[in-house]
Amino acid sequence: MKHLSLKVGGVPEHFNLPWRLAIGSGALKKHHINAQWQEFHSGTGAMVQALNNGEVDVATLLTEGAIKAAAQKDCQFELYAFYTKSPLIWGVHTPLETDIKSLKDLGKATFAISRYGSGSNLMAYLLAESQGLSVDNLKFEIIDNLKGARNLFKKGGNYIFLWEKFMTKPLVDGGEMIRIADFPTPWSCFVTCMRKEVLQNNPKQIKQLMKSVLKSAKHLKQSPIAEQLIAEQYQLELADVKTWFDSTQWYKKVSLNSELIDRVTDKLKQLSIID
């Protein structure tokens, strides 16, 4: 079997610890795979660009962002396998100084997003729709990442920022921002994508890569020290990690659910996000 070097991208969040463990443990070496992990603080939109530009070969993206990107004619990657079964719980955040006190005030908001095509961008449409608002005239401000949102929020204003609730909880607990609601994705939240040329040239090794990562997730789920490890790795409170860990499920087999893809695609079309 030939040697395969891969650049793997993901957000620096607890969901991706199985990737880091699979790569760091050396488990991929028996499949002649040398994988390098690269963190993307700006999220799915940045990873879409990196995949298309060949800066990474593999990346685990938010499902809605991956499907939107894959619908573009010039897309250089394809959806390969779903990673998590459970939804992502988005926190709906505001600055301390704001006129937005609840979701009833959503019509006043400018959405702070990492970039267009990101999860924070796409979920804004779903959140607005859930509140009976028109999605035609939503307002956005690009802030790049969580650090950008923190800087923006220092000024106050009528902003909404959508981000994974457990990663922002230390900031909420510390009085830096307010979470006015939770908003779960209505589908499995992460899917692993591969550059087309890499998948076409290395199908067996790519499958072994994914199997190894899902095996790592299974072992993590069974480990008695998993919650403590996650708390230490991501600077989270142990009680918060336990709540998140109990509700999180990773896929056990390498699979791609076409019905789920169709459901997400239909919703994105309904919202005029894709043609």
CB-based contacts of 62, cutoff 8 Å, min separation 6 = 43, 44, 88, 118, 119, 122, 185, 189, 190, 191
- Backbone dihedral angles phi then psi of residue 182, each to the nearest 5 degrees: -105, 150
Q: Model pTM?
A: 0.92
How far CA 178 is from CA of 56, 114, 163, in Å, comes to 35, 18, 12
What is the pLDDT, as a whole number, of residue 185? 94
Cα–Cα distance measured from residue 71 to residue 119, given in angstroms and rounded to the nearest whole number: 16
What is the pLDDT, as a whole number, of residue 2? 86
Q: What is the DSSP string of 143-173?
A: --SHHHHHHHHTT--SEEEEEEHHHHHHHHH
| CATH numeric code, 89-184 | 3.40.190.10
Among 142, 144, 109, 141, smallest CA distance to 128 is for 109
The CATH class that applies to domain 4-86+188-270 reads alpha beta
How far CA 217 is from CA of 16, 66, 168, 214, 222, in Å, comes to 9, 21, 23, 5, 9
The helix (H) or strand (E) run that includes residue 60 is: strand 58-62
CB-based contacts of 72, cutoff 8 Å, min separation 6 = none
Query: For tokens 């109990």, what's the residue?
Result: 246
Q: What share of the chain is helix, strand, coil (3-state, %, to 5)?
A: 45, 20, 35
Cα–Cα distance measured from residue 126 to residue 110, given in angstroms and rounded to the nearest whole number: 15
Instruction: Name the stretches of the chain with pLDDT < 70.
Output: none
Output the CA torsion 22→25→27→28 (10° steps): 70
Q: Do domains 4-86+188-270 and 89-184 have the same CATH topology?
A: yes
Cα–Cα distance measured from residue 201 to residue 188, given in angstroms and rounded to the nearest whole number: 28
Q: Where are the domains of the chain?
A: 4-86+188-270, 89-184
